[in-house]
Structures are given as C-alpha cells and as structure tokens.
Amino acid sequence: MSTRLALDAYQSIEKSTLTGRELEANVLTRVADMLAQAKQADESQRGELIEHAVRHNLRVWTLFQAELLDPEHPLPAEVRQNLLNLTAFIDKRSLELIADPKPEKLDILIAINRNIAAGLRGDPGPAPEH
C-alpha cells in the first residue's frame, strides 16, 4: 500500500471516530501548523506559502462562522457572539496578510487557532504568568 493510500485510509478512520469538537480541534491545530511553517519558510517561498495557509485558515473560519450563524446552534448567544467577533478579526487580519504577507502578523492567528483547539479539547493550556 502506498504511503498516500495509507494516509487516506487513516484519515478516513480518524474522521469517522472523532467527535465534532475533536475534529474541529484537529483542523485548527493543522492550520496553525501550516501558518507556523509558512512563517518559517525560506524567504523566496514565504509570501506564497503565507497566502496559501492564510486562505486555508480563512476557509476554516468561514465554515465556523456559518455554523455560528445558525439560530439552532447549541452555544449560548453570548458565546456565539464572542466567537463571531473573533471571526471578524480573523477575516480582517487574513485580508491584511493576503495583501501584505508579513510573517510577524501570523502569530496572532496561530495563537488563536491553538487556543481554541485546546479549549475544544478541554485543555485549559498553560496557567497565566503573574
């Protein structure tokens, strides 16, 4: 079995066994990794990789936004509104990055994705420093 076929089979099984939250957390983590890799890429490829990763991230967050706009969504209205505000920020930052792919502007998108993924997994993350 080729590596690609094995990976496709694994991902198919993974999708069928993950809960919605786990799947969303995995997607956010993978996109955060894509953004981080683009940030670290060789300067000759960085702009193109940033644009690709940012567009991918934007698609993911657009799907979340569509879910959050569903009046039947189970989250409390205040939480949904806070997440919708976050999607507006992500849209704005993404468009800025597509127009001017500055690697340092990726940090906030990477942090948001990783923090939301940790929350979906029920992992509070590191304790705040005082």
Count other Cβ atoms within 10 Å, centred on residue 5.
Answer: 9
Return d(Cα 47, Cα 41) in angstroms, integer.
Answer: 9
Domain extent listing, the chain: 20-120
Share of the chain above pLDDT 90, in %: 73
| Burial status of residue 26 (CB atoms within 10 A of its CB: 0-12, 13-18, 19 or more) | middle
Cα 72 from chain centroid (whole Å): 23
Question: Global pTM?
Answer: 0.79
- Per-residue pLDDT at 91 exceeds 70: yes
Architecture, CATH, for domain 20-120: Up-down Bundle (1.20)
**Cα separation values, 60 from 44, 45, 101, 102, 108, Å:** 26, 23, 19, 21, 16
